[in-house]
Amino acid sequence: MTLFIYIKLKSKIVLVNKSKIGQHFYWSIAGLEVHGQVLINTWIVILLILILGITTTRELKLIPDTGQNFIEFVTEFVRDIAKTQIGEKEYLKWVPYLGTIFLFIFVSNWSGALIPWKVIELPNGELGAPTNDINTTVALALLTSISYFYAGLSKRGIGYFAKYVQPTPILLPINILEDFTKPLSLSFRLFGNILADELVVAVVVSLVPLIVPIPLIFLGLFTSGIQALIFATLSGSYIGEAMEGHH
């Protein structure tokens, strides 16, 4: 009996893997092959954020309504992250970047858990959270890398590169390697967590399609929010570190 259940479970997992992993449909844009579904997902998320921003800030009031209260809460939340990680003197100029990163990842992650993408049929592949694609998470991590290099150079000039030989020139290779590991860890952490969550939910739904998957979905919503917070916090930490010039 145990062997039968194991074989049945294994066959389900293989079925899910064959139907979900590695399938994409492509657009050819200026001679480049682009993942069509990732581009669609990204623009849908951007549209949702734009609608949220416009509808909640179109008519600001002294006594805020529910929408304005929500957007003010999000703004203060991001300001607190920036102030904690970057410092009181420099944090304001980085609030838009950290806020954009946080909102994009948060809405992307939640869209994968809440929107029934599977009802939309595509020639190949399927729609889902943009952050379950490694191309998206790598692009976000590279944006953070560019941001903290810009922050360090704009604050300290050429002296920014002195950090690579501190506290001793012997650490030069390790300090250079650190700048490669930062975007790698950011991108693979976000990608791995979101993809794993969606796969677990897909497998459980295929096995027990009714009540059992609901707690996993709520857990996925919680972890999705945490991943957005971690990404934004680490981005702010790297930017603050680049301007301060210490590890």
Supply the pLDDT for residue 76: 93
Give the C-alpha separation, 83 to 166, whole Å: 26
Residue given tokens 């680049």 in the structure block: 242
Supply the pLDDT for residue 118: 58
Cα–chain-centroid distance for residue 4?
A: 39
Q: Mean pLDDT over residues 131-137, rounded?
A: 88
- Does the pLDDT value for residue 3 go beyond 70? no
Q: How far apart are the first and last CA of the chain?
A: 56
Helical residues (DSSP H) of the chain, grouped into ranges = 2-20, 36-57, 66-86, 95-114, 134-156, 172-207, 213-244
Task: Give the pLDDT band (50/70/90) at residue 14.
Answer: very low
Q: Mean pLDDT over residues 7-30, rounded?
A: 49
Helix (H) or strand (E) holding 33: strand 32-35
pLDDT (tens digit per residue) in 155-208: 888 888 888 888 788 888 888 888 889 999 999 999 988 888 777 776 776 776
Counting beta carbons within 10 angstroms of the beta carbon of residue 47, is it exposed (0 to 12), middle (13 to 18) or buried (19 or more)? exposed
Counting beta carbons within 10 angstroms of the beta carbon of residue 205, is it exposed (0 to 12), middle (13 to 18) or buried (19 or more)? middle
pLDDT (tens digit per residue) in 201-225: 767 767 766 666 677 777 778 888 8
Supply the pLDDT for residue 36: 73
